[in-house]
A and B are shown apart, each in its own frame.
Chain A
Amino acid sequence: MGTGQQAATRDVITLKGSSSIVGEFFSYAVNSILFQRGLYPSEQFDRVKKYGLTMLVSHEDKVKGYISAVTSQIADWLQTGKVQRVVMVISSLATKEVLERWNFLIETDRDATETGATKEKSDKEIMQEIQAIMRQITSSVTFLPHLEESCSFELLVYTDTDLEAPTSWEESDPRLIKKAQEVKLRSLNTKIHKIDSLVAYKVDDDSNV
């Protein structure tokens, strides 16, 4: 009886809960992409157990700071329901050309933001979906072209025009890739937020893929 009740409360997803789950997911996803794509030396990463997997998280101060600042802001904004997508842009340090774009499209359930209704979904299911996406990110190295040069990354957030942004955020251009090849990855659904992920990468003309 008690356990039944506990299970029931845990399966309930609130807007705040979903936002924090999604925000956390972004933080781990970004770290994972940084490691897998080799943007930073592998010594800068620590292993953490999360989502039933071993996740690699950067312990480098500046990188950690940037990611946590952005993802916590995203989590806040998710509660407003005004976030449309989050994009991680990987561009060459030297030429500033965008080589990869990791798109996470977000759909927020209107009911939750407007009326504060709660949804039901088991934690386990959500975790499995996140696990699947993380695994896909890892396996993406098999088809993504090798990043030859030193690259930098950046996180862009697509929001509604009426969203108030603190002064620490500035407007940006979408930083698109000219001739992009796209691969759709799995999606995550917390019943309040639905995240569709896809990766777009620059097709190398001379690459013999």
Chain B
Amino acid sequence: MAALISSNGGKDPAATPAKKLPQIDRFIPDRSAMNFDVANMLVLGKENSQLQQQPLRSDCSQEEYKKQLAENLLRDANIFQKKSRILAFKSKPPPPPEGFERESRLLYSENTAPGASKPRRMFRQIPQAPERTLDAPEILDDYYLNLLDWGTNNILAVALGHTVYLWNATTGGIEELMQVSEDDGPVTSVSWAPDGKHISVGLNNADVQLWDAFSLRQVRSLKAHTARVGSLAWNGPILSTGGRDNVIFNHDVRIREHVTGKMAAHQQEVCGLKWSPSGQQLASGGNDNLLYVWDAAAAASRGNSTYLHRLDEHQAAVKALAWCPFQSNLLASGGGTADRCIKFWNTHTGACIQSVDTASQVCALQWSKHERELLSSHGFSQNQLILWKYPSMVKMAELTGHTSRVLHMAQSPDGYTVASAAGDETLRFWQVFGTPDTTKATAVRTKASSSALNSRCIR
């Protein structure tokens, strides 16, 4: 107790150490409240340079605390020890340019190329529904015929029974081109000439008629076949016709003696006939499961021509033929019900490059002009159109809607729309190859208001 009282910390100098009164307060020192520095100074009574600073601190320790408190609490209000002023440059920086699209910055995007180009769309939206459906009553449900063709004049020609109608894709207007009698018809094939003015029509009576689509008058009649003419293909002024008589004729439509070539190699009806884009080669497919490739020069000879390649890998009729627009000498062919394959050929060498089983009869093939894609149309059981990526042959889209096998396909001149005709008597237009970048200028998408057109019967 005595010791306790003696170290009084300067608080109670008057306390008399000797007294031991029971009433005395027990002094409990509170170290945190003590000011040892001051005590030290007072006790020792020393003065040196270090201590000189101390009194300053000790005297205004409270003040310092206040200051620090103020600094922390009022830091933002800027009541510092050192008062400061805030200066801003008078002429301000310019605002960002008008209409500056702040593209959402990805996290961690740092120092990428300024104005980085947008990555190419990897996958475009392919509408699953046709953009337009037209009635096609009386269309013949015959696998071996070719009743649909879309000309460079943007007019779609379709043969319904004994009549050929022209649907103007630009205006949406329909007109009847021609009608054949019961004996001569039905119409078995239609094909636009490259000039877009003339159209060739093959008939059941083995006749091939050449019509002027603008004046709606027949120009010529080409007689050569002995059975119905199911396939037609143009190569400049040359029209190749394939018939049920297993023969292919080349006609030069400008001259009187129009037959300029004869190709007899098929054993059964010639249902597929296509000239290559270069006009150098002709591919023909028949019901005999054979695919022949003919050379243009040989086909021009008046005698019997010999083929370049005989390709017999298909197990069913070869009707679907399509030449690749971006790779010369690449031909795609599709087989019928028993085959169901799409095969790719190098027509230089005659080698089969690839074969893909599609699980359904292949009725028609169309290459995309814009992308490396192939569209195939099928029959049982889904009656779908399949869009394939070439050369991986990955299915990009499957378009269903038809309720019967999709027998015919034709592509618009701009290469974005495909028309498909099926045994269910409908004509459907699919926006399958993409859209042009410009605003809706192409005809097929205008006249959206003409809903009447959609339900209007062609006849």
Interface residues of A (CB under 8 A from B): 36, 38-43, 45, 47, 54, 56, 60, 62-63, 66-67, 69-70, 73, 84, 93, 138-139, 141-142, 146-148, 150-161, 163, 165, 167-174, 176
Contacts and interface: CB of A to CB of B under 8 A. Distances in A.
Nearest to B101: A41
**Chain A CB within 10 Å — which of B78, B85, B109 has the most?**
B85
Contact of B87 (A146, A153, A156, A176): A156
Contacts of B119: none
B359 to A, nearest CB: 47
30 contacts: A38-B102, A40-B97, A47-B114, A62-B94, A66-B91, A73-B89, A93-B96, A138-B110, A138-B111, A139-B110, A141-B105, A141-B107, A142-B107, A146-B104, A148-B102, A150-B95, A152-B96, A155-B88, A157-B88, A159-B85, A160-B82, A160-B84, A160-B85, A161-B83, A169-B87, A169-B88, A170-B87, A172-B88, A173-B86, A174-B86
Nearest to B85: A161
Contacts, number: 122
Contact of B95 (A36, A42, A54, A93): A93
B108 interface: yes
Query: What are the 3 closest A-B residue pairs judged by CB atoms, nearest first?
Result: A172-B88, A42-B114, A66-B93
A139 B90 CA distance: 31
Nearest to A40: B96
B84 A84 contact: yes
Contacts of A93: 95-96
Interface string B101-124: 011110111110011100000000
A147 B84 CA distance: 31
A46 to B, nearest CB: 8
A66 B89 contact: yes
Nearest to A54: B111
A104 to B, nearest CB: 14
B93 A62 contact: yes
A154 B105 CA distance: 22
Contacts of B256: none
**Chain A CB within 10 Å — which of B88, B111, B116 has the most?**
B88
Q: Is the interface of A mostly helix, strand, loop or mixed?
A: mixed
Contacts of A39: 96
B96 A41 contact: yes
Nearest to A46: B114
A169 B89 contact: yes
Nearest to A73: B89
A16 B55 CA distance: 38
B110 to A, nearest CB: 5
B65 interface: no
A84 B71 CA distance: 14
B30 interface: no
A166 to B, nearest CB: 10
Nearest to A168: B90
Contacts of A160: 82-85
B78 A159 contact: no
Contacts of B78: 158, 174
B76 interface: yes
B214 interface: no
A170 B103 CA distance: 34
A67 B82 CA distance: 27
A153 to B, nearest CB: 6
Contact of A56 (B90, B100, B108, B114): B114
A102 to B, nearest CB: 14
A160 B84 CA distance: 4
A167 B90 CA distance: 8
B85 A67 contact: no
Given A43-B114, A150-B96, A155 B89 contact: yes
B88 A43 contact: no
Given A39-B96, A138-B110, A169-B90, 10 more contacts: A41-B96, A41-B97, A84-B80, A146-B105, A150-B95, A153-B93, A158-B85, A159-B86, A163-B85, A173-B86
A42 B90 CA distance: 26
A70 B103 CA distance: 29
Contact of A154 (B93, B110, B114): B93
A103 B83 CA distance: 18
Contacts of A158: 78, 84-87
A40 B92 CA distance: 15
Contact of B92 (A152, A157, A163): A152
B79 to A, nearest CB: 12
**Chain A CB within 10 Å — which of B86, B90, B105, B114 has the most?**
B86
B90 A170 contact: yes
Given A66-B89, A158-B84, A158-B86, A174 B76 contact: yes
Nearest to A173: B86
A148 B93 CA distance: 20
A54 to B, nearest CB: 6
Contacts of B95: 93, 150, 152
Contacts of A161: 82-85
**Chain B CB within 10 Å — which of A63, A150, A156, A167 has the most?**
A150
B145 to A, nearest CB: 58
Nearest to A41: B100
B100 A156 contact: no
A138 B46 CA distance: 57
B94 A63 contact: yes
Given A84-B84, A152-B95, A69 B107 contact: no
B303 to A, nearest CB: 68
Contact of B94 (A47, A54, A60, A148): A60
Given A84-B82, A160-B82, A165 B87 contact: yes
A174 B94 CA distance: 20
Given A38-B102, A150-B102, A172 B115 contact: no
